Amino acid sequence: MTSTVLGMTTSAAAPAGSEGAITDGTVTDRLVDANERYAAAFTDPGMDARPVLRVAVVACMDARLDLHKALGLQLGDCHTIRNAGGVVTDDVIRSLTISQRALGTRSVVLIHHTGCGMESITEDFRHDLELEVGQRPAWAVEAFRDVDQDVRQSMARVRTSPFLLHTEDVRGFVFDVRTGRLREIDPA
Ligand SMILES: [Zn+2]
């Protein structure tokens, strides 16, 4: 995905005082510093690993989607499974299977979003990679043209998975990165 540079503005959510700039050290150093402050104020919530709301959310990794804030979620509420596109790959099914069978979740929420990078690349991405590195990836790019249709087929993949225990409550949405609003996709 590194070759797919999207036209985005710089982060408005950078830690206060940093102005979003990395002045010294690497970005990871900055994260580790932030963790020191987090841990200093942290108290053990004494939680079980089972998500309180018994829900697993599958969403795109897009930096503009703050899943917990956008859905009013608290620490411990849900499983969060994210990847490029929020697509339902075999590995997402693996996580959902463990989520349901070992950790008690029952509902699945799928979230794609407007302006997704997956709409601007195609399966040619694999071919181009092969030409560049001499090896074709085993994985599908899972690019899509129509975000609504991709949410629909993602819902279908979850609903038809033989590994999942609970497929009655599977709903899909498109998050609008400009308004912050979810739009539900009719599965039919
Ligand atoms: Zn995306």
CATH number of the domain enclosing 94: 3.40.1050.10
Q: In the chain, which stretches have pLDDT less than 50?
A: 1-18
**28 Cα: distance to centroid of ligand 1 (angstroms):** 23
| Dist CA 61 CA 81 (whole Å) | 9
pLDDT of residue 8: 40
**42 Cα: distance to centroid of ligand 1 (angstroms):** 31
Q: Give the global pTM.
A: 0.86
| Cβ atoms 173, 181 nearer than 8 A | no
**96 Cα: distance to centroid of ligand 1 (angstroms):** 20
Answer whether residue 86 is part of any domain.
yes
pLDDT of residue 10: 43
pLDDT of residue 123: 85
pLDDT of residue 99: 98
Range of the domain at 144: 48-185
pLDDT of residue 20: 53
pLDDT of residue 25: 86
| Cβ atoms 55, 106 nearer than 8 A | yes
pLDDT of residue 188: 81
pLDDT of residue 7: 39
pLDDT of residue 3: 41
With a CB cutoff of 8 Å and minimum separation 6, the contacts of 22 are 30
Answer whether residue 37 is part of any domain.
no
Answer whether residue 177 is part of any domain.
yes
pLDDT of residue 148: 97
Answer whether residue 25 is part of any domain.
no
| 60 annotated ligand-binding residue | yes
Answer whether residue 20 is part of any domain.
no
Answer whether residue 1 is part of any domain.
no
The domain total for the chain is: 1
